[in-house]
Structure 1
């Protein structure tokens, strides 16, 4: 009997790492955006270092890495798109509808704004809002899902982009990664120099046009995703050389140290993605070598699997909490309890969505069981 196609080895740490990344995004928004604390120095911890945007950059890199690692295109583009749709659309549609109901019932909410008009709401439902350079469209309904809109564009482009990237000779993969890293590092400066406009109230002193091009526009964020694609090939072809995790982390610290002397546009850019991206193959190789870490533990992997639902739910829950509190601000003790309770509520609802919506649907479209990959050590 002819053996079936071989599955690539599993990389559980790349699932588990999504859990702490989701925590970083939640904390950044609970402190820097919701601003529950009377002591503004605590609120400022949300943006003192751009750890929330850095976590989001790593999500983009992870997406590129995991999709190329686990999607060998042996089943064709149809099954690939079917799995992507099932992975993102049901949870998005449920949270989209829930936010519209909240806005209709409660009126304008902090962080969410008023009930949007039909056009922006439908564009948000389609998850193409990051392509529209208008604030009312970009941040309509559950505005936090602009990054999911970027992912949708990545998913649409990957079957085309992956073909030339998969044909890059093994010995040129690092040069390809370097070229993508150079784009990430240089592009914000180019945008800041060539694009101008009045300060955007949300992110002064940047104009909306600068902010959109640097942070929200999918093609600007595409190099982060493609770095993940190339790194997956670097690991798969044996081009990766052992690196300790603290080297990429030192690189992130160096980037953050430079931010005060760089143009303001860099503060909202993805330049930390370049050193952060190198953490992904570090974790992947540990898994391939059979070395366990806390990221591969089952409860961490479950939290990582829930991270998409966590991401979509946390923003409207913070908005409702801010609405309930009104102008009242709290001390650090009460504030920490509030943030912890909101995180627990977010996780509880995320678990329900993951268990009763995401997992059953994913099982239905999952590929037929393939032959296990050979032991990489054997």
Structure 2
């Protein structure tokens, strides 16, 4: 029996390892956001945990390309499934803000402006508005699913383009990213995440067009995976395990080095600052694409360990974890006596995981069944 979120390849083997990896990517974001309150044993200061979002974007491209190789023949089902994936939990996560954190997180916005921001969130277009008090208002982390919604819209066109030329589509997406880096430099946009006007966060981190390259990179990785998988190259479990451990080491090295690349030594000041910011947020995208291929192959001990039922469940609940962890964090920030207790961070993680599990079981799963029908077709891991 195929579990929800557990795809089977042409040989009948499930890609559960990718599901489990989603939990670790979400955990990076949770740990990074909680760092200011509890620290992270130096992890957040030595590795760019914000790159967990980049992993999700790359994985999303991989999974959609895997699930829908002929999406033009099933557009209605595709968009129905995408709506069921994003929208119900997104709305529930917003409604949980006043229930858990006792705030709508609208900062100093007037009621009319807050309502407009709510409408933007309702239609998942907030990431197109490059102002902090728009894309980070209400459930701030939802900016990424607004960006993801654009990827869903662009996916059918990307599929058609990639059939003609992977190099061309990847090149166009890369040029679009470079264009926004140029905009930051040319118009002297502040390299900031706190400036209330247009800044680098709005143009290079949140902006859907600037992140499109990562999504297309994931689609390209899927094509590479299929070619490698079809060849069925003989490799021992020991050899594959070494490959997987090497890949994990490369990920760690990349997440440590990319925020520290010496751009200032090779580029003028403004260009160096813009590329530095992009490297901090998205510098490991190519490494993530390679890692997804390696673990999708599932030939080593690490990928097999990732197929444990507990890890797969956590991976399935990772979307709920991602969307609600900042709401739980707001509650702890409002209760410093509990947050500052020795067990404060452990209570935080426990609360996040329990809430995410409940939402996955009681909201995500039944709502998707309701929207898609009693017996929706099983698709691979969702990103």
Question: So what's the TM-score if we normalise by structure 1?
Answer: 0.78
Distance 1:81 1:279 in 2: 28
SS of equivalent residue, structure 2 residue 188? coil
Deviations 1:188-214 (A, max 9, x none): 7534422324675x447x973322111
Are positions 1:194 and 2:186 aligned together?
A: yes
Stretch deviating more after TM superposition (273-282 or 43-52): 43-52
Are positions 1:360 and 2:371 aligned together?
A: no
Distance 1:209 1:44 in 2: 30
2:355 aligned partner: 349
Give the alignment of 1:144-155 within 5 angstroms. 144-155=141-152
Question: 1:145 deviation in Å?
Answer: 0.8
Stretch deviating more after TM superposition (20-29 or 262-271): 262-271
Question: 1:323 deviation in Å?
Answer: 1.5
For structure 1, the 5+ residue unaligned runs are 1-5, 371-378
2:291 aligned partner: 279
Determine if contact 1:255/1:271 at 8 Å carries over to the other structure. yes
Determine if contact 1:313/1:350 at 8 Å carries over to the other structure. yes
Residues 234 and 45 (structure 1 numbering): CA distance in 2 closer, same or farther, change over 3 Å? same
Are positions 1:303 and 2:304 aligned together?
A: no
The partner residue of 2:219 within 229, 247, 250 is 229
Are positions 1:211 and 2:201 aligned together?
A: yes
Distance 1:119 1:329 in 2: 33
Distance 1:184 1:317 in 2: 36
2:19 aligned partner: 15
Deviations 1:160-194 (A, max 9, x none): 221111333xxxx5x46874796598567534422
For structure 2, the 5+ residue unaligned runs are 1-6, 234-239, 266-271
Determine if contact 1:107/1:114 at 8 Å carries over to the other structure. no
SS of equivalent residue, structure 1 residue 296? coil
The partner residue of 2:273 within 261, 264, 278 is 264
Stretch deviating more after TM superposition (249-258 or 234-243): 234-243
Question: 1:139 deviation in Å?
Answer: 1.4
SS of equivalent residue, structure 2 residue 97? helix
Residues 126 and 46 (structure 1 numbering): CA distance in 2 closer, same or farther, change over 3 Å? farther
Determine if contact 2:62/2:220 at 8 Å carries over to the other structure. yes
The partner residue of 1:255 within 243, 246, 258 is 258
Deviations 1:48-103 (A, max 9, x none): 24532111100110000011112233651000111111111111111112225567
Question: 1:228 deviation in Å?
Answer: 0.2
Determine if contact 2:177/2:210 at 8 Å carries over to the other structure. no
Distance 2:47 2:172 in 1: 21
1:138 aligned partner: 135
Are positions 1:52 and 2:49 aligned together?
A: yes
Question: 1:260 deviation in Å?
Answer: 7.6
SS of equivalent residue, structure 2 residue 228? coil
Residues 297 and 102 (structure 1 numbering): CA distance in 2 closer, same or farther, change over 3 Å? closer
Distance 2:122 2:215 in 1: 23
Deviations 1:280-327 (A, max 9, x none): 10111225x89852211111011001011001110111012112228x
CA RMSD of aligned residues (A): 3.4
Distance 2:352 2:285 in 1: 27
Distance 1:8 1:256 in 2: 36
